[in-house]
Structure formats: C-alpha cells, structure tokens
Structure 1
Amino acid sequence: MTRLVVVGNGMAGARLVSEVRARDPRIRITVFGAEAGRPYNRALLSNVLAGTMTPGQVRMLDAEWYADHAVTALPGVEVTAIDREAREVLTACGRREPYDVLVLATGGEAVVPPLPGAERAVAFRTMGDCEAILAAAGTARRTAVVGGGLLGVEAARGLAGRGLPVTLLHLAGHLMERQLDAEAGLVLGESLAGLGVEIRTGVTVREILDDGVRLAAGTGTAPGTAGAAASPSGTGESGAAGEEVVEADLVILACGVRPVTRLARDAGLAVARGVVVDDEMRTGDPSIFAIGECAEHDGVVYGLVAPAWEQAAVVAGLVTATDRTARYRGSRLVTRLKARGVELAAMGETHLTEDEAEIVRFSHRTRGVYRKLVIRDGRLVGAILLGETPAVGTVTRLFDHGGPLPADRAGLLFPGLAGGAADSPVRMPDTARVCQCNNVTKGRIRSCWESGARDVAAVAAATRATTGCGSCRDAVEGIVGWLCEQEGIPA
C-alpha cells in the first residue's frame, strides 16, 4: 500500500488530500499541518476581516471528513526534517513518519521587514493574524496598513468598511504596481479614498511606534496625486529632522509573502526562490513533490488559488496512477480584488507600451473606471478592468483561451456597442469558464442545475465553484437565476 505523506494542510495540501482520496480509497494518507485546527481558504480571509464572512465559512475539511475518508490528520504538528535515505519525516515532538511519496505544501510566510518596532505590528497572513486584527480593531482609533499590494488593499478596505479610519502606506508610486499601470493605480487609489481609505504612496516607513508609523522625511504623496512629495496629511505630526508620524494604534503589515523552503533546502533539494520542480511537480528526488506557494515551476512561484489547485490535480493523477500523463504547464493568472465597492480584474502583461503592443484604453476617473486591453499578434495578452463592467467574463475568456479578437476592439470594453459581446448568461457559451480556480464552465453549472442543484450552495457543493477566491459568486448566481427564470422556478 502506498504511503503518502503531505507536509502542509493549507489550501494546496488540503486540496491534494481530497483529490487523492477521491481517486483512490486505498492509499494511506498522513497530513501534517503547522497551524492547529481545520484548514481554511486563505484567499477569503479578507472577507472575514471585512465582516462579510465568518471564520467558519472559510474553513475546509473537518475532523469528521478525515475520519470518514481514512486520512490521518495531524494539525499543529510541525515537521522539522526530512530523512531522504530512510524516507521518513521527523516532527518536533519526535515522531518519525515513513513515506513512499512525500508532497511538500508548506506554503508561504508573511514578509516582516526589519523595521524598529516591527513586533508592535500584526502581519496579515493567517487565520490567527486575522483574529488578532479583529480583536485589536474593536478598541483601535486609527489603523495604518503598510503595503499597497493586493492583500494590503483588501485589508485596508475591509477595516474601513467596519468604520475604522485607515491610512494605507505604500513604498511604490502607485497601488498594486505588479498588476496595474500607473493610471490604473491612481484610479484605484481615488476609489478607495472615496470609501474612507487615505492613500499615501511613495512613502518609506522608518519605524513602528506604539502610537503610529514614522515615515522618512520628504517621502509620500497626498491622496489624489502622483509622484510629488507631500507635506504631513493631517493624520500625523512632524517628527525628528522633518520626519512624519502617521497616527495609528493598530498597524498591519502586508509586505508580501515568501515561500517556506527550509525543509527542502535542509534536505538537499534544489531551492531557488521556491522549491524547484518539473512539469510533474516533482523535485530532484523522484519520491518528493512540491505544490502551491512553496513550489517554483519554470522560474515562477504562484501565489494564487487556481495554480495551486491545478498543481494538486496533477500530483493526484500521478500518485494514484489515474492520469500518468498529467503535467503542469504553468498558469495564466487573473488577479481579482475582493473589496466591497471596488471591482477589479487584472491579467497578463499589463505594463507593455504602445511601442510593444496594441493598447486600447478608456479612463473615467470621476466614476472610478479604467479599462485597458493589451493586444499582440491579434491576441489578448493583458487587461485591466477597474470599476463595474459587464465585460469581465468575455475579456477573461479571451485571455484564458488566447482566441482571435474581433475587429471592433472597443466593443470588448463596451459590450453594448455594435460588435461587442454582452456578458449575460444568455450570450455566454457553455464552454465559458466561470470559476477560474476550479475550472468550472457554464455548461457544467447548467448540468448541475438540471440535476437538481437549484441554488448557489448546491452548485458549489457539486462543482466547487465559488469556493476558491470567491470572485465568481455573482456570475454563478446570475447563471442559476437565469436558469430558474427560464423554467419559471423561484430562485
């Protein structure tokens, strides 16, 4: 009997366990988790912070599931070493667990910059972090979020939605600079400002204080500006040598994530930024795989849900021999912002210029709208869609499948125009992928509905749609509602 050991019980590890067990009831599975308690959907923690979901709603497999499926789950048990010669993992409590196949799903850890007073801040990465932030927010007067990437934006918006004054501090010149160009970052910042988040870009944090954050002198921009130094914004006071202190009695760090690779490195496996794997997600040791945020495939470390779950499916197919040809070829990433009042999707090569590609762009700053298509050789290679737009599904499908574009490019940004493709369930083909994380098409949702899944919860149970990043929920609701309407059934 094959002995499968999984180190890591987060989104990648838990998904692998469920995939393997669904394919083979005989494999002996043991899974170790560094965090105590049930695995949870880390991508939805921002919803917990915002109060739109409870911690229980983002939990995944429970003790009853493990018992029913003959899986030995050891949450809160840390694996400290891999003995490759003996094919065993060693734990902090002295347990030695033998394996035939070992899968590393150790994930990532929050980057905590080496700042004086960093211990006074709370990183936003785990369920424990989320609970600590919510507890502190109950008595906090002001909050500062350090880091204006995806997670920092979601955290700032979530806390502002709870009525807490929030200042978002970001080193780069505009928010989410990895996914957005400068104009999109500016429009996003203005949209957040309208929702109660003060934006300070181009700032350098020097120190975390008991009552705020000290910024380097002469850095930062005022809300609604780009590139110019600003004087103190009114939320802070002047510090030594012209430095500014932004007042905050709760400081949250959202400064990025790094892969957890110590186990692999100590075991002599190849590690670059992450644990180096091939198209089978296999390391240099043929009995050891790596998936999720800790894995580096073809020079890329993926930090989103969909790639981790695609990788888990590949490894499950190989380990159970149900798909010996399974290979991972990389993922086409679509970043969706989960923040109430802000709609954002960004994908592909968004930073190319007119000299490098055909650019189609529309901006309406006062309405918080920015739309951009990046086209090369007649194919969509990148896009930014900020603000409410019915074009998200159509554009995402064109990017995902690489199909030829219509001659009327503007029709893609404005689906109501001639030549545009409206994104309603009526016009959406059955092959359209609705849930990117779980590869669920409209046709599959229709099939589930016809089999009796008449609401979103039932569709989610049957297909896993909406259980990844959650951004497809509105689309799934629209399809289910449309199907019910066609048959005269109350949704």
Structure 2
Amino acid sequence: MRLVVVGNGMAGSRLVSEVRARDPHLTITVFGAEEGHPYNRVLLSNVLAGKARAEQLRLHELSWYGANRVEAVSGSAVAWIDRETRAVHTTDGRREPYDLLVLATGSEAFVPRIPGVERAIPFRTLDDCDRILKAAEHSRRAVVVGGGLLGIEAARGLAGRGLPVTLLHLADHLMERQLDPEAGLVLGETLTGLGVDIRTGVVAEAVEEDGVRLAGGELADGDLVVLACGVRPLTGLAAEAGLEVRRGIVVDDEMRTDDPSIFAIGECAEHDGNVYGLVAPAWEQAAVAADVITGGKSRYRGSRLVTRLKASSVELAAMGETQLTDEHAEVVRFSHRAKGTYRKLVIRDGRLVGAILLGDSDAVGTLTQLFDRGGPVPGDRAGLLFPGLAAAPVAESPVLMPDAAKVCQCNNVTKGQIRACWEAGARNVAGVAAATRATTGCGTCRDAVEGIVGWLCEQEGISA
C-alpha cells in the first residue's frame, strides 16, 4: 500500500514517524513545500530571541528518511489532487499515486490588506525568522503588529536583543482568546518592564517607511515591522479536490475526510467544529491517523488545550475556559500587579475547567494534571494556587509524583513512562527525549524531566 503525505511540518513529520513505527513495510512519500529539514515551528521564537540556533529545531535529520525507507521530497508543493485516479500532482510536474493520502498542509500567516503591507515581514516560517534577524541588525526600532501568543514572543525576543519594540494589538488586552482582561493587563505591564511598549485597542491602517500608521493618524515609529496577526488554515488544495471544507478540512473521529482514502491532520483539519492551532492536538491527531492507517481502531475525541508562553522572563500558562465569570462558575483569583503575578481558577461542578497562571508559579504542574484528567478539585482552593501553603507536606522529590501525572503535555508523556525508560537505560534527558519525545515540543517540561531523571540517578548513585 502507498501512503502519500502532503506537508512535512510538525504534523506531517510526526505522522510519518508514527506510521513507520507501526508498519515497517508501508511505502511512504512525503512532500514538503519548504526546502530542507522539517523543523519545530513552536521554537522559532527561541531563534528570534537568540536562545537557539536554527539547526536545533530539526525534527528529523535527512539521514532518518533513508534509514527508514521514507521518500522525502523537499521544496515541492502539491498543486492538485486527482481523486479519480488517486494521485497527487506537484508544481514541478511530478505525479505520485496513492492508496491513502494525508493532508497536513498546516496554516499560513494572515496578512492584512492595508497599504504598504509588503514592507512588513510575517513571522511564521524559519525563512521569515531569518529575514527578521537580518533586518534587525540594521534597524533602530521595531513594531510588532499582533498581541497574541506569537506576537508577544516576537516582541520579547527582539527586545531581548536590545532593539526598542512597540507592540500593537487590535483588542483591548493582550491574548484575549486565552486571558481575561485583568490577566492581559498584568501581562502588558510585565512586558513594559522588559522594554516592550504596549499599545492595545489600536487599528493599523498602513505600513510606511518609518512605521505603522494607526487609525486617527498617529504613527507608531519603527523601521522594522513584523506581522503576527494570526493564521488561517491552508485548505485550498482540499477545496479544489471537492472535499468538505468549512474553517478547516472537515474530518471525523478517525481523521478521515468525506473521502475515505484521504485524511487531514493538524492546523488544516477541523474536527467537531474545532480547528486547533497548537502542536499537542496536531500530534494527538497524527497518532490516531497513523493507528487507523495501519489497521488500528484509535479515535480522536478532541483536545484539552494548555497554552504556554515562551518568552524570556515571562511565565504564563492558560488552559480551558478562562473567560467564565462568577455568574457561571466558581472563580478563585489572586492578583499582585506590582510583582507581575496573576492566578485564576475556574471551577464548575467540582471540576477545574479553566486556569490562568501568570508569573513564577509552582502550581502549574498540579493544575495542568487536574485540568487534563478532569478529576475533582480538592476543597483547599488556596492550596491549589499556592502549593507551599497547603496543609499536606510538599513532596521532597519528583519521584513522589504519581505515575499517571502528565509531565510533557505536547507528547502525552507521563512520569511513569519517564521512569520506565530510565529503568530501561535512558540515564539523561537526551535519552528520555529519544525514547518518549518528552521536551521536544514547546520545551517547557524540560526542568521537570531533568528533575525526575536527576532524582532517579541520585538514588542509584550514578551521574545523570
């Protein structure tokens, strides 16, 4: 059987590795529109901030494909799908037949239709990142348009390089999809203290040589303009092939489209009315599709989203229904604006349905587990927000975490799986990552993994 995958980004490359791990014989061809290695798009902000090099973002070395008998075609975009003969056709004239096809086309940066927008640089791909960094070397001030997750990471990264930055956002507070107004205000004040000038509730009307012209005539000064205005799913290929498309390519619980021989996963897919823009759902969908493709019976039931901001000196985690008020749920909150701290729990029917943790907090792990597993919330609400105040003694080591505790959200890795692979011989974080993929998504679980591995090694008197 011949499997063809369109898209070799974070969803497509994971699908290929998941399929190959289950079936060593299936013929696999994967097409990637970008040149070179597939890479971890989530960590682009680390490159922009100077915390990582481009080569550190690779998901697979090119040698992996040869070793695993996968044909990877880079820099070759698929132009159309012939469903009658079951073949894809590329822009450079190649025809590739398939028995099963997976669309992992991802999404593209949304670029507003305003005068002069061609002067700005979108922040979406590794090439975009390279262009921004080269431009920053000769710029006196940057303007970032968009105060969502990516825009904040871009603004903080550039500010960390010593470049003055103005961040423009249409909504009245930052990250309005994940945060309530007070959390957005505290986040803005934190970023201001780190050298980012925040302007919310403003409309960008034009990009000019010396900045961004706002509605009302004011100019946001800057000779480097970066766009982080959101993304939209790449669905044109599917729509032209006659597949059902709404916001994304519509799929069922097996990740199949309305053509049983065609699947869709990741940011281009719409499941049960939801289009997810985070890596963890894409990888969960890839695992389900790979299982179905190789004869399994897995089903995708949707994802519980945990958003982590990866910006130096800013700690933020948001999950679930953060916008609910006291009228609709039990809301527990603590705010200390002078310290950049905001913590909020949203509880309904005795279960944690949402949370915001802004500022350094040791409650993130516990609350993420409660949210992910849907378990009952303990009666001591203050103890959840401030674990050090809880009556129960704090565990002296990470090994005392329950085995079922999820350590890596992106890859669904539990503490028990980390312990098991340590016992099988993985004596450092690199070994655990190779065996479980923990730390290879957004990277925010690295400290927790290091703690577990370090404690286990200490008990045995060996070096991690």
Q: TM-score range by the shorter chain?
A: over 0.9
Q: Please tell me whether the aligned partners of residues 261 and 275 of structure 1 are also in contact (alpha carbons under 8 angstroms).
A: yes
> What is residue 438 of structure 1 aligned with on the other side?
411
Is 1:326 aligned to residue 303 of structure 2? no
* Equivalent residues in 2 for 1:393-432, closer than 5 Å: 393-419=365-391, 422=394, 425-432=398-405
Structure 2 counterpart of 1:279, one-letter code: D
Is 1:265 aligned to residue 239 of structure 2? yes
> What is residue 218 of structure 2 aligned with on the other side?
244
Structure 1 counterpart of 2:310, one-letter code: K
Deviation of 1:455 after TM superposition, in Å, equals 1.8
> What is residue 292 of structure 1 aligned with on the other side?
266
> What is residue 109 of structure 1 aligned with on the other side?
108
Q: Please tell me whether the aligned partners of residues 254 and 288 of structure 2 are also in contact (alpha carbons under 8 angstroms).
A: yes
Distance 1:170 1:6 in 2: 36
> What is residue 315 of structure 2 aligned with on the other side?
343
> What is residue 220 of structure 1 aligned with on the other side?
none
Q: Please tell me whether the aligned partners of residues 445 and 459 of structure 1 are also in contact (alpha carbons under 8 angstroms).
A: yes
1:487 is aligned, of 456, 460, 464, to 460
Distance 1:159 1:482 in 2: 37
Distance 2:374 2:392 in 1: 17
Is 1:41 aligned to residue 47 of structure 2? no
* Equivalent residues in 2 for 1:293-308, closer than 5 Å: 293-308=267-282
1:280 is aligned, of 235, 250, 254, to 254
Is 1:316 aligned to residue 290 of structure 2? yes
Deviation of 1:425 after TM superposition, in Å, equals 1.0
Deviation of 1:19 after TM superposition, in Å, equals 0.7
Q: Please tell me whether the aligned partners of residues 412 and 420 of structure 1 are also in contact (alpha carbons under 8 angstroms).
A: no
> What is residue 75 of structure 2 aligned with on the other side?
76
> What is residue 380 of structure 1 aligned with on the other side?
352
Q: Please tell me whether the aligned partners of residues 108 and 293 of structure 1 are also in contact (alpha carbons under 8 angstroms).
A: yes
> What is residue 462 of structure 1 aligned with on the other side?
435
Deviation of 1:54 after TM superposition, in Å, equals 0.6
Distance 2:390 2:236 in 1: 56
Distance 2:119 2:363 in 1: 43
> What is residue 177 of structure 2 aligned with on the other side?
178
Three-state SS of the structure 1 residue aligned to 2:398 is coil
* Greater shift in the superposed pair: 449-458 or 333-342: 449-458
- Cα deviations across residues 43-63 of structure 1 (Å, max 9, x unaligned)? 111111111111000011122
Distance 2:14 2:392 in 1: 38
Distance 1:154 1:469 in 2: 13
* Greater shift in the superposed pair: 393-402 or 473-482: 473-482
Three-state SS of the structure 1 residue aligned to 2:388 is coil
> What is residue 206 of structure 1 aligned with on the other side?
205
> What is residue 231 of structure 1 aligned with on the other side?
none
2:422 is aligned, of 449, 453, 460, to 449
- Cα deviations across residues 395-434 of structure 1 (Å, max 9, x unaligned)? 0000000001111111000101234684751442111000
Structure 2 counterpart of 1:157, one-letter code: R
Distance 2:456 2:165 in 1: 42
Distance 2:371 2:285 in 1: 20
Deviation of 1:454 after TM superposition, in Å, equals 2.0
Distance 1:65 1:416 in 2: 46
Q: Please tell me whether the aligned partners of residues 335 and 347 of structure 1 are also in contact (alpha carbons under 8 angstroms).
A: yes
Distance 1:13 1:422 in 2: 41
Three-state SS of the structure 1 residue aligned to 2:79 is strand
Structure 2 counterpart of 1:74, one-letter code: V
Deviation of 1:151 after TM superposition, in Å, equals 0.3
Deviation of 1:458 after TM superposition, in Å, equals 1.5
> What is residue 155 of structure 2 aligned with on the other side?
156
> What is residue 478 of structure 1 aligned with on the other side?
451
> What is residue 188 of structure 2 aligned with on the other side?
189
Q: Please tell me whether the aligned partners of residues 5 and 99 of structure 1 are also in contact (alpha carbons under 8 angstroms).
A: yes
Distance 2:390 2:111 in 1: 51
Distance 2:441 2:463 in 1: 27
Three-state SS of the structure 2 residue aligned to 1:282 is coil
Aligned residues: 463
Structure 2 counterpart of 1:259, one-letter code: P
Three-state SS of the structure 2 residue aligned to 1:47 is helix
- Cα deviations across residues 149-191 of structure 1 (Å, max 9, x unaligned)? 0000011111111111111100100000000000000010111
Deviation of 1:25 after TM superposition, in Å, equals 1.1
Distance 2:315 2:451 in 1: 17
Q: Please tell me whether the aligned partners of residues 454 and 480 of structure 1 are also in contact (alpha carbons under 8 angstroms).
A: yes
Structure 1 counterpart of 2:207, one-letter code: I
Distance 1:442 1:30 in 2: 35
Three-state SS of the structure 1 residue aligned to 2:102 is strand
- Cα deviations across residues 105-132 of structure 1 (Å, max 9, x unaligned)? 0000000000111000000000100111
Q: Please tell me whether the aligned partners of residues 399 and 456 of structure 2 are also in contact (alpha carbons under 8 angstroms).
A: no
CA distance 1:422–1:118, shift in 2 (3 Å): farther
Distance 2:404 2:234 in 1: 37
> What is residue 238 of structure 1 aligned with on the other side?
none
* Greater shift in the superposed pair: 431-440 or 449-458: 449-458
Deviation of 1:450 after TM superposition, in Å, equals 2.2
- Cα deviations across residues 9-36 of structure 1 (Å, max 9, x unaligned)? 0000000011111111111101111111
Distance 2:344 2:282 in 1: 28
Distance 1:444 1:212 in 2: 51
> What is residue 139 of structure 1 aligned with on the other side?
138
Q: Please tell me whether the aligned partners of residues 174 and 202 of structure 1 are also in contact (alpha carbons under 8 angstroms).
A: yes
Three-state SS of the structure 2 residue aligned to 1:285 is coil
Three-state SS of the structure 1 residue aligned to 2:355 is strand
Three-state SS of the structure 1 residue aligned to 2:144 is strand
Distance 1:85 1:449 in 2: 50
Structure 2 counterpart of 1:370, one-letter code: Y
Is 1:371 aligned to residue 343 of structure 2? yes
Q: Please tell me whether the aligned partners of residues 391 and 422 of structure 1 are also in contact (alpha carbons under 8 angstroms).
A: no
Distance 2:392 2:146 in 1: 37
Deviation of 1:485 after TM superposition, in Å, equals 2.8
Q: Please tell me whether the aligned partners of residues 174 and 185 of structure 1 are also in contact (alpha carbons under 8 angstroms).
A: yes
